Structure 1
Amino acid sequence: MNVSFLSIGSNMGDRLRHLQQSVYTLHSQEGIEVVAVSSIYETAPIGFIGQADFLNMAVKIQTSLDPHTLLNVCQQIESDLGRKRLIRWGPRTIDLDILLYNNENIESENLIIPHPRMLERAFVLVPLFEIAPELASSEEVVQAGGVELWKKIDGAPESFWGGSLK
């Protein structure tokens, strides 16, 4: 079984519900088990500034899927939840990024793992290190500026999405 960490964000519509639906849908996929979810953090947008704040979180999954199939699943979830890719770093109903996949380094036309900008983004690192503190090295100092706890989560996936999404 492979271990992967994903970053999930939303800044359009019912942001919390989009996060819940994406985690539930991931967990419902054959070959994917969500084993941990971080708390939810609110952050200002980067890149394209003229948009609403994001809710961000990280999830740890176990999967039998290869990285490219996992990417396809993530992109299908984005599409199903109404993601439109109109503006780079623009508003989105949901964004799922594969941060890590085992200890592999992958570089292909449509997938780079580890995620190429994750070390530059506190909104990715803060939730990631919450559920995987062993990934933080002593040399890494995360500046949490602009990353505010929005909702504390106990780490259990089922308690995150509740029974209302079935």
Structure 2
Amino acid sequence: MINTMHTTAARPPVSAWVGLGANLGDARASVLAAIEALGRLPRTQLLRASSLYRSAPWQAEGADFINAVAELHTHLSAPDLLQELQALEQAAGRARPYRNAPRTLDLDLLAYGAARIESARLTLPHPRLHERAFVLWPLAEIAPERVSAAALERVAGQRIERLG
């Protein structure tokens, strides 16, 4: 028998950033529960999470979103982490009837260390993170070195509010 835990655990931890959002049901509770669930992922540690933010739908319709960004240290590979994130979305009742549909929970893998990945299933860093105030403002809160002032200026016209 091969001990896969040992070989998988030997992978050094990687910092990963996850964008969280919801605009159906109790969106605030969904995002807070998802932050807690990130801390329970296998071989993963939740380092910190931003405040919650309310933002207007971006290239979508529906109610305002509740958003946040979390930083993880994980021994999971990027594809395995994505699979875990998608399982959390499914557990929260995520449906994908059409692109940018309202959602009970959306978890986007924004960055995985310095990895650059382009595959049919995963592109890292997230290809649109620099266009989205609902990602940049919470990311700047917990990892200011990852977001330039110029990037924040480019999204200044998007409505976003930090919640208390």
* Residue 20 (structure 1) shift: 1.6
| RMSD of aligned Cα (Å) | 1.2
One of 22, 29, 54 as aligned partner of 2:65: 54
State the match for 1:150 in structure 2. Answer: 163
Whole-Å separation in 2 of the counterparts to 1:138 and 1:123: 15
Q: Note if contact 2:133-2:152 (Cα within 8 Å) is conserved in structure 1.
A: no
Tell me how many residue pairs correspond in the alignment. Answer: 150
Aligned to 1:79: 90
Q: C-alpha distance in 2, partners of 1:135/1:74?
A: 22
How far residue 139 of structure 1 moved from its aligned partner, in angstroms, is 4.3
Pick 1 or 2: higher relative contact order, CA cutoff 8 A, min separation 6: 1
Q: 131, 139, 156: which one pairs with 1:128?
A: 139
Q: Deviations over 1:67-119 (max 9, x none)?
A: 00000000000000000011211110000001010011001111000000000
1:66 corresponds to 2:108: no
2:8 — aligned with what? none
Q: Tell me, in whole angstroms, the C-alpha distance in 1 between the residues paired with 2:92 and 2:99.
A: 18
Q: How does 1:89-104 map to 2 (within 5 A)?
A: 89-104=100-115
Structure 2: where are the runs of 5+ without partners? 1-12
Following the alignment from structure 2 to structure 1, what is the Cα–Cα distance between the partners of residues 137 and 145?
A: 13
Partner Cα separation in structure 1 for residue 151 and residue 25 of structure 2: 34
CA distance in 2, matches of 1:47, 1:135: 24
Note the C-alpha offset of 1:34. Answer: 0.7
1:162 aligned partner: none
From the CA coordinates, give the structure whose radius of gyration is larger.
2
C-alpha separation between the residues in 2 aligned to 1:38 and 1:107?
A: 27
Q: Which runs of 4+ in 1 moved over 6 A?
A: none
One-letter amino acid of the structure 2 residue matched with residue 146 of structure 1: R
The answer as to 2:37 corresponding to 1:28 is: no
Equivalent residue for 1:111?
122
Tell me the distance in 1 between the aligned counterparts of 2:14 and 2:124: 14
How many Å apart are 1:138 and its aligned residue? Answer: 5.3
Query: Residue 44 of structure 1 aligns with which residue?
Result: 56
CA distance, structure 1, for counterparts of residue 113 and residue 134 of structure 2: 21
- Find the counterpart in structure 2 of residue 13 from structure 1: 25
Return the alpha-carbon distance in structure 1 between the equivalents of residues 85 and 53 of structure 2.
Answer: 20
Deviation at 1:48, TM superposition (A): 2.5
Q: Which sections of structure 1, spanning at least 5 residues, go unmatched? A: 152-166
